[in-house]
Structure 1
Amino acid sequence: MTRRTERQILSDELFKAIFIQLLVETDEELLQLEDLLEDEEDGEEEEEELDDPLSHVLLEALAELYSNRYTIERRSILKTSDNLDLLLHTYKVERPEIFRSFVRMSPEAFDALVSAIEDDEVFTRGDQTPVTHQLAVALYWLGHYGNAASTVKVALWAGIGYGTVRLFMKRVMEAVCRENFRKTVMAWPSDDTKEHAMDWIEENSCEAWRPGWLMVDGTLVPLYSRPAFFNNTWYDRKSNYSMNLQLVTTPDLRIIDFAVGLPGSQHDATAWKDTYIYQNHHTLLKDGEWVWADSAYPLRKWCQAPYKSCVVMN
């Protein structure tokens, strides 16, 4: 259930009081009008009341409520950007292992990601914090879970406002979810890359397995809480609410395709049907080439688990 703020609660109560008071005052005016008509017939006159009706007082209280941003006195919180500056200017250069522990990627990968998204239109609207800072905050947030992932903790660590954390994340996700970004960072491997992958497979297994130069596997991305829509379908076999993520990589762990969005209860054999490779394997993979998979995936000529006793050839 959505949490209601103190302002919303007070506002609703005032609206109810105003509505009821207007009904009461309307009834009183009708009665006074009847009395006035009777007095006029009798030749009597009454003095008019000058006091403001209660409804006006309630309206003024409502106006006062909306004239102030906060209903209680606000006290500023002492914050500093030293942590973020230390991460981006010291750890990134001198201690890359510490940098990686904060943003879950190497400095080289971080710089490459900045270069890929910094020209996106979402970062060109008005004066903004540098993209490096926005990306670092977003990755730091994504790299934590539970209480450590609260916007309060992230905001205090980075020395920014609570709402700014969400704004940075929104911009970064908007940039990386664009179709042109996906096409730029996940192009189909070149012939040299494919040959290098096949060489690695042959060196670490055998010549017969050389054509299996791609690998697919699924993982579950835990969700903070049960989603509001189709809630229980997100409940997975590990007793968590999660999202199914399918990754297709080369042996050096370079991601060349992915599928995400299905609930965690979805089986890998079904979830990976959303990948581009599954839907276009007949044109992407040459005759004899296949994708390595585990026992969760249905065996095909182009998708095999060579350690199985039976391989379906179709």
Structure 2
Amino acid sequence: MRYEEPCDKPIPRPPAQMPHTLEVLKIERPDQFREILRVTLHTFDKLREKIEHDPVFFNNSNNAQIPVKEQLAIALYRFGHDGNAASQVSVGRWAGAGKGSPALHTKHIMTAILRQSFMSEAVQMPTAEEKSKAKAWVEAHSCRAWRHGWIFVDGTLIPLFDRPHWYGESYFDRKCNYSLNIQVCCCLTDL
């Protein structure tokens, strides 16, 4: 009785932002392209080039998959956002896709990236010369006893959607989010 027009009108779907990112920003504003997808234009194109012929992107269905560059953009957008911005609905809205599509496209991208053929080319151990240079640097700038050892350490924060029920305050990080702090160590020695 209070409204002049009925409230049950559907809200029109906003235009997708992904085509603008892939077609306009990629060419005219690569800095904004990088800000949105968290990779440079060169990295995006090389990654797409390396995975586009993977069998996961082909099917025998009457409904063809969306192009690999769009699936890659969706996955990278998800990886670069957290909280509500990374929800299925938000990513789907950004991409102009359904709310379940981002999970499927991310699965396709990760399947292609984690294949042995891609991993063997993308992840390589250092050569003997590179190892030797690094050992000399460690000996000159750090503890000499560490010269014959190798340790790789990397850490990252994995954002959580909400405060964990048990000991939630322990998960509050320096960036004022709830997250898991993951650290990976790999130790190699060749005495």
Fold in common (TM above 0.5): yes
**Structural mapping, 1:87-236, within 5 Å:** 87-126=21-60, 127-194=64-131, 197=134, 201=137, 205=141, 211=147, 215-225=152-162
Change in Cα spacing, 1:111 to 1:213, as seen in structure 2 (3 Å) is farther
> 2:15 corresponds to which letter in structure 1?
T
1:76-104 CA-to-partner distances (Å, cap 9, x unmatched) read: 843434x2222223322332221111111
Conserved? CA contact 2:25–2:32, under 8 Å = yes
Conserved? CA contact 1:102–1:143, under 8 Å = yes
Q: Of the candidates 169, 182, 186, which is equivalent to residue 244 of structure 1?
A: 182
Equivalent residue of 2:155, what SS?
strand
1:1-59 CA-to-partner distances (Å, cap 9, x unmatched) read: xxxxxxxxxxxxxxxxxxxxxxxxxxxxxxxxxxxxxxxxxxxxxxxxxxxxxxxxxxx
Report the alpha carbon displacement of residue 112 of structure 1 after superposing the two structures with TM. Answer: 2.4
- Structure 2 gaps, min length 5: 1-7, 173-177
- Structure 1 gaps, min length 5: 1-72, 247-271, 288-314
Instruction: Provide the rounded CA distance (Å) in 2 between the counterparts of 1:121 and 1:150.
Output: 27
> 1:87 corresponds to which letter in structure 2?
T
Give the aligned partner of residue 78 of structure 1: 13
Report the alpha carbon displacement of residue 207 of structure 1 after superposing the two structures with TM. Answer: 9.9
> 1:155 corresponds to which letter in structure 2?
G
Instruction: Provide the rounded CA distance (Å) in 1 between the counterparts of 2:162 and 2:112.
Output: 25
Report the alpha carbon displacement of residue 105 of structure 1 after superposing the two structures with TM. Answer: 1.4
Give the aligned partner of residue 21 of structure 1: none
Change in Cα spacing, 1:92 to 1:120, as seen in structure 2 (3 Å) is same
1:250-269 CA-to-partner distances (Å, cap 9, x unmatched) read: xxxxxxxxxxxxxxxxxxxx
Report the alpha carbon displacement of residue 132 of structure 1 after superposing the two structures with TM. Answer: 0.9
1:161-185 CA-to-partner distances (Å, cap 9, x unmatched) read: 2122222122112222334433321
Q: Report the aligned-residue RMSD.
A: 3.5
| Length-normalised TM-score, structure 2 | 0.70
Instruction: Provide the rounded CA distance (Å) in 2 between the counterparts of 1:96 and 1:205.
Output: 38
| Length-normalised TM-score, structure 1 | 0.45
1:197-216 CA-to-partner distances (Å, cap 9, x unmatched) read: 557x47x9479599477641
Report the alpha carbon displacement of residue 125 of structure 1 after superposing the two structures with TM. Answer: 1.8
User: Identity of paired residues, percent?
Assistant: 34
Report the alpha carbon displacement of residue 123 of structure 1 after superposing the two structures with TM. Answer: 0.9
**RCO higher in 1 or 2 (8 Å CA, sep ≥ 6)?**
2
Task: Figure out how many residues of one structure are paired with residues of the other and give that number.
Answer: 174
Report the alpha carbon displacement of residue 153 of structure 1 after superposing the two structures with TM. Answer: 1.9
Q: Which has the larger radius of gyration?
A: 1
Report the alpha carbon displacement of residue 192 of structure 1 after superposing the two structures with TM. Answer: 4.4
Instruction: Provide the rounded CA distance (Å) in 1 between the counterparts of 2:109 and 2:179.
Output: 24
Instruction: Provide the rounded CA distance (Å) in 2 between the counterparts of 1:225 and 1:181.
Output: 34
Conserved? CA contact 1:123–1:131, under 8 Å = yes
**Structural mapping, 1:27-46, within 5 Å:** none
Give the aligned partner of residue 249 of structure 1: none
